Amino acid sequence: MSFVEMKQNNNIRPEGTPCLLIHGFDAEQIIIIKGLAMTLDIIDVRVVETSMQDNCIQDIIDNNIKRNAMVKPISEQVIIFNDLSEHDIHKFIGDYKKTGISRPIYAAGTPTSRTWTFKAWLEELMEERAAIAEQQKLQAMMKDGDAAN
């Protein structure tokens, strides 16, 4: 799993291309996400379409995209933070919760993840989400078992 603790007060953006990569949202949701991004001076919000899933993350960031109409759609909603500060990410997620849109998968780009295809990374993120849900379910069962004793 690829989780790290983030410090909310770190508002230094890494060098690079600050942007959001989003996938699986409808037109109305995209407008809301772009509005949230603008409040944090995140000007670049890239919508990753199904036909773009075979591209590596860095190619999507660099707008060097090759489309493949034969890609099987993945309907999962995801927001990828690229070259944003930890403060920006926390603030965006906090504001996003207030929108009423269902919680997507969140991820922050890393040098390693930027070499993966969007599809491969999304599949990995979906596996991580399922593993976390299973772990939480087991913890809840153990807690319920402890409470019964």
pLDDT for 93-126, tens place per residue?
Answer: 999 999 999 999 999 999 999 999 999 999 999 9
Query: Which domain, by its residues, includes 58?
Result: 19-148
pLDDT at 4: 44
pLDDT of residue 2: 43
- 8 in a domain, yes or no? no
Q: Is 10 domain-assigned?
A: no
**In a domain? residue 7:** no
Rounded CA separation 127/142 (Å)? 23
> What pLDDT does 147 receive?
64
Task: Tell me whether residue 3 is in a domain.
Answer: no
pLDDT of 24-41, one tens digit each? 999 999 999 999 999 999
Domain count along the chain: 1
92 or 144, which is more confident: 92
In a domain, 30, yes or no: yes
pLDDT given for residue 71 in this prediction: 82
9 part of a folded domain: no
Flag whether 13 is in a domain.
no
36 to 29, 30, 45, 127: CA distances (angstroms)? 11, 10, 10, 28
